[in-house]
Structure 1
Amino acid sequence: MSREIINTDKAPAAIGTYSQAVKSGSTVYFSGQIPLVPETMEFNSDDVREQIHQVFKNLSAVAEAAGGSLNQFVKLNIFLTDLSCFPIVNEVMAEYFEAPYPARAAIGVKELPKGAQVEMDAVMDLA
């Protein structure tokens, strides 16, 4: 099975040795996205709600570069430095997804790259 590297300047550039996403067959595997604004590679806010919005914007941009959309996500992993913010994730996620929703996990972590409050990775099926 062939691999295709997915890359777009509409999402933050990789800050390490990874690709924004990799397509294998009809499945796209997304690397973790933190709330960096692509143009500045900085956070637009310290507000967790705004950071969650930015992560979904970044994931959407990579999905579009792969030929898909958030509606084709089958799995979403959410990493939060404060699990008490999970209700905010649900509120914001409802603005980007409709039922049936992707499978999802929420994981509390001590810290994230660059001091982000949220990071998400995903799997998308283009079939």
Structure 2
Amino acid sequence: MNAVHSEKAPRAIGPYSQAVATEHLVFVSGQLGINPATGEFAGADIKAQATQSMENIKAILHAAGLGMHHIVKTTILLKSLEDFAVVNEIYGSYFKEPYPARATFQVAKLPKDGLVEIEAIAQKK
């Protein structure tokens, strides 16, 4: 197992790696909508945070030599399911068929009081 790190994604805010790679898979830790240049949320709204979360995943996968098309499974954690439609539209713009498997949950609270956190599993090809 090897850690994956990208300067184009926010540093981990705890004792974990941005991602870890095994022989066949890359596990991307949950990404908040934090802009890596500022260390702050990309914006106060769900659109800005969801877009930044996806961009962070994209940057981490790029550091592993992969792209978004390598993702096989994602999990989306939302502060409010009322934001589902907006997040779904942004999320969908990053993928083509066949889409990754996905689960979406509303949670009581996210780190740093974020609005969305997305994690991904990608397959090396």
What is the alpha-carbon distance in structure 2 between the residues aligned to residue 35 and residue 44 of structure 1?
A: 6
* Structure 2 counterpart of 1:99: 97
Percentage of matched positions with identical amino acids? 41
Instruction: For structure 1, list consecutive stretches of 5 or more residues without a partner in the other structure.
Output: none
Q: Where in structure 1 do 4 or more consecutive aligned residues deviate above 2 Å? A: none
Aligned AA for 2:55?
K
For residues 68-94 of structure 1, give each alpha carbon's deviation from its aligned partner in whole angstroms, at most 9, with x where no partner exists. Answer: 011110000000000111111111112
Aligned AA for 1:104?
R
TM-score, scaled relative to structure 2: 0.97
TM-score, scaled relative to structure 1: 0.96
Identify the match of residue 35 of structure 1 among 8, 33, 36.
Answer: 33
State yes or no: 1:67 paired with 2:79.
no
What does 1:1-127 align with in structure 2 at a 5 Å threshold? 3-127=1-125
What is the alpha-carbon distance in structure 1 between the residues aligned to residue 42 and residue 48 of structure 2?
A: 8
For residues 79-118 of structure 1, give each alpha carbon's deviation from its aligned partner in whole angstroms, at most 9, with x where no partner exists. Answer: 0000111111111112111111000000110110011000
Aligned AA for 2:63?
A
What is the alpha-carbon distance in structure 2 between the residues aligned to residue 56 and residue 18 of structure 1?
A: 19
| RMSD (Å), alpha carbons | 0.7
